[in-house]
Structure 1
Amino acid sequence: MADQTAASHSNPTVDPYHHLQIAPNPDDTITRLAEYPNSPPTCDSNLPTPVLSKDIPINQSNNTWVRLFLPRHVLDQSPSPTATPTTKLPLVIFYHGGGFIILSAGSTIFHDFCVNLAIDVPVVIASVDYRLAPEHRLPAAYDDAMEALHWIKTAQDDWLTDYADLSNCFLMGSSAGGNIAYHAGLRAVVGVDHLKPLKIRGLILQQPFFGGTQRSGSELSMANDPVLPLSCCDLMWDLSLPRGFDRDHEYCNPTVGGGSKHLDEIKALGWRVLVTGCDGDPLMDRQIELVKMLEEKGVQVVGRFIQGGYHGVEDVELSKAHELFVVFRSFIIQL
């Protein structure tokens, strides 16, 4: 009945392929028609940028890589080029958004977000570029997320070894990246000993992308949302989930079956989870459901939901991003 209600509220003239600027191909791939702006990394310390960045390959056969962000001030505070700083910064491992099907760690929208995050908190950031669906359906992105964690724990790059506190690590993601951070956390908690010296302290899920077959109230009331219409959510899940599965797959709906059994391990390790959202986002009810489920499981969780906004608002509006970074800073320092 809920699906029928949603259908009656939807606008059949809204084409999700057109909205997302993608075209389907007969071989189960898509052509990405939009040319989203990309930003190159800036690793030249002679340039007056407040944050340095550089790209490093992780798995060349899968074409996955990581973009590291380092606040310049930590270099300026080092007593000499060969001295190790006495105080290291927390490490944020970031997964970008894009509905699992578009954008990258080099997209300007996420590059700029990470630059500002590195300045405001401050933190060292490893922004992971993972394989996209439908060419690589889930769990490919989760596999890449975990491979990045194992790469980071042994990486000999001086930005990580000298300036990042690997014992003070957070998995973070925006939208689909929030979904990836959540599922990477569920995997990582099983093998924490294998990730040492990397020690995860918590998850930061920024407007995480979840769904389900039963429509939520916010989905129904904002079915034709100009930023994230329901038809686009459905299409992104159709293109991302393993073939033959609906939106009640655990990758999409974290509350299925009462939630993952690994949440007990997250509780036992004392990880904390921050979930952020806004009431202008059709996904807000999903995010609130996640917070409630984590509370029922005894996981330490903080929900931060604001009025107004839209899906991805902090990725676009710098003033909203700065407000969010204050919350992130408090959450990270509190641990």
Structure 2
Amino acid sequence: SKAQDKHLLRSPRTAMDADADTVVFEAPAHFRFYKSGRIERLHRPPILPAGDDEATGVTSKDVVLDADTGLSVRLYLPKLQEPSTKLLVLVYFHGGSFLIESADSSTYHNYVNALAAAAGVLAVSVDYRLAPEHPLPAAYDDSWAALQWAALAQDEWIREHGDTARLFLAGDSAGGNIVHNVLIRASFQPAPRVEGAILLHPWFGGNTFLEGEVEAKAKDMAMIWEFACPGAVGGADDPRMNPMAPGAPGMENLRCERMLVCAGEKDWLAARDRAYYAAVTTSAWRGSVSRGGVAWIESEGEGHVFFLKKPDCARAKELMARVVAFIAGA
């Protein structure tokens, strides 16, 4: 009865209930973990609708790929001077520690919209499932499925305007981690040819601290990783988080022709990103050497994913220009 429900609502909580609501970790302004496994998302940027962007001339739309899982993508089609023009297809994976953010948030809608306009690409921004409600490998599986969907041109925009023979992958932070893992997976499962990959401040970690890493920050990142991926083997040395861990697939397994690795000089991930770049350059992977192989850019004086927070600053414009040049093959 309503009276009973009211009584239950007023009943004192048990010690077990109170214990479940104990905060075990907090990333200020981002998220809070509770002992129960619950997450409180503190970072909630506005959600922007798809549609026409007058400033850039880019048109966007949302497409549901799997109604059961909720997997969807947001497509971005830049203004075409000639309707018959075929654009390369860029699949983008957003960041957010696998825990927050989305393809339709203002953060990523604005960035991918600007990238599609600047590079003249048909972009596919993946709205993968988030942990802890959907622990990893859900995000990896969704991203893989979205790549396969894009490559098969199962949408009219891609069929009419996309050149699926020219596929690129890009992602920032956790999304950069996804790019690496998708490229590794492509060496073990049938996959479309990927011409280029762009890793923007990719999130990698490890149990052994690197020179230049802040130990406390690295420990926090390891905790966040294990919260997102409770089945991680070896904690932060799980090969999906630490590509250089013992037993991880070698870099020669990366399935793309060209790669651009980007870092911020003041980023807490800078040491890991430098180590990743070094591991690729010294491995048997050479990509298409005649077209650049693997390239590196480090943004002086800038922190983690600064280009999302201040896209109009000089370094962000410099980074965007470098990404556009890489896509163009320059």
In structure 2, what is the Cα distance between the partners aligned to 1:125 and 1:270? 18
C-alpha distance in 1 between matches for 2:49 and 2:154: 22
- 1:186 Cα offset (Å): 0.9
| 8 Å Cα contact 2:31/2:41 also seen in 1 | yes
The answer to whether residue 191 in structure 2 is matched with residue 203 in structure 1 is no
Which AA in structure 2 matches 1:331? F
Q: Distance in 2 between matches of 1:94 and 1:65?
A: 12
User: How far does residue 327 in structure 1 lie from its aligned partner after superposition?
Assistant: 1.1
Is the counterpart of residue 235 in structure 1 residue 242 in structure 2?
no
The CA distance in 2 between the partners of 1:274 and 1:91, in whole Å, is: 17
Describe the shift of the 1:289–1:48 C-alpha distance in structure 2 as closer, same or farther (beyond 3 A).
closer
Q: By how many angstroms is 1:232 displaced?
A: 4.3
Q: Deviation at 1:63?
A: 0.9
Q: Between Structure 1 and Structure 2, which shows a larger proportion of helix residues?
A: 1
CA distance in 2, matches of 1:119, 1:56: 20
What are the within-5 Å matches in structure 2 for residues 320-331 of structure 1?
320-331=315-326
Q: Percent identity between the aligned chains?
A: 33
Which of 6, 28, 51 is 2:58 aligned to?
51
How many positions carry a matched residue from both structures? 297
Letter in 1 for 2:321: V
Structure 2 Cα separation of the partners of residues 185 and 270 of structure 1: 7
Shift of 1:241: 2.2
Q: Distance in 1 between matches of 2:120 and 2:150?
A: 19
1:288 is aligned, of 256, 274, 288, to 274
Shifted more, 287-296 versus 150-159: the winner is: 150-159
Structure 1 residue 103 displacement after superposition: 0.6
What is the distance in 1 between the residues matched to 2:31 and 2:135? 19
C-alpha offsets along residues 176-234 of structure 1, whole Å, 9 cap, x if unaligned?
A: 0000011011112333xx44xx431121100000001112233228x5xxxxx546423
What corresponds to 1:297 in structure 2? 283
How many angstroms apart in 2 are the aligned matches of 1:102 and 1:25? 18
Q: Match for 2:227: what amino acid? A: L
> 2:70 maps to what in 1?
63
SS at match of 1:16: strand
Structure of higher CA gyration radius:
2
Secondary structure of residue in 1 paired with 2:267:
coil
Moved more, 284-293 or 182-191: 182-191
Shift of 1:272: 1.6
Cα distance, 1:136 vs. partner? 1.9
Question: How far off is 1:17 after superposition?
Answer: 4.4
4+ residue stretches of structure 1 with deviation over 4 A?
229-232
* Distance in 1 separating the partners of 2:256 and 2:304: 29
The equivalent of 1:91 in structure 2 is 89
Report how far residue 35 of structure 1 moved: 2.7
List aligned pairs for 1:53-202, cutoff 5 A: 53-72=60-79, 74=80, 76-78=81-83, 85=84, 87-191=85-189, 194-195=190-191, 198-202=192-196
Kindly indicate whether the alpha-carbon contact (under 8 Å) linking 1:20 and 1:232 is maintained by their aligned counterparts in 2.
Answer: no
1:6-45 equivalent positions in 2, closer than 5 A = 16-24=26-34, 26=36, 28-43=37-52
Take 1:285 and 1:297, find their aligned partners in 2: how far apart are those partners?
A: 18
Q: 2:211 is aligned with what amino acid? A: G
Give a deviation string over 1:75-96, Cα, whole Å, max 9, x none: x422xxxxxx1x3111110000
Task: Please report the TM-score for the alignment, with normalisation by the length of structure 1.
Answer: 0.81
Task: Find the aligned partners of 1:232 and 1:19 in 2 and give their Cα distance.
Answer: 15
1:54 Cα deviation (Å)? 0.5
- Aligned-partner SS, 1:219: coil
Question: Is 1:213 matched with 2:207?
Answer: yes
Task: Select the structure with the greater relative contact order (CA < 8 A; seq sep ≥ 6).
Answer: 1
The equivalent residue for 1:6 is: none
User: Are the counterparts in 2 of residues 91 and 126 from structure 1 also a CA contact under 8 Å?
Assistant: yes
CA distance in 2, matches of 1:202, 1:232: 31
User: How does the TM-score come out when normalised to structure 2?
Assistant: 0.83
Helix, strand or coil for the counterpart of 1:289? Answer: helix
Cα distance in 2 for partners of 1:308, 1:90 equals: 32
Asked if the contact 1:218/1:283 (under 8 Å) is kept, the reply is: no
**Alignment root-mean-square deviation, CA:** 2.3
Q: Decide whether the 8 Å contact of 2:258 with 2:294 is kept in 1.
A: yes
Whether the 8 Å CA contact 2:32–2:42 is kept in 1: the answer is yes
What one-letter code is carried by the residue in structure 2 that aligns with 1:136? H
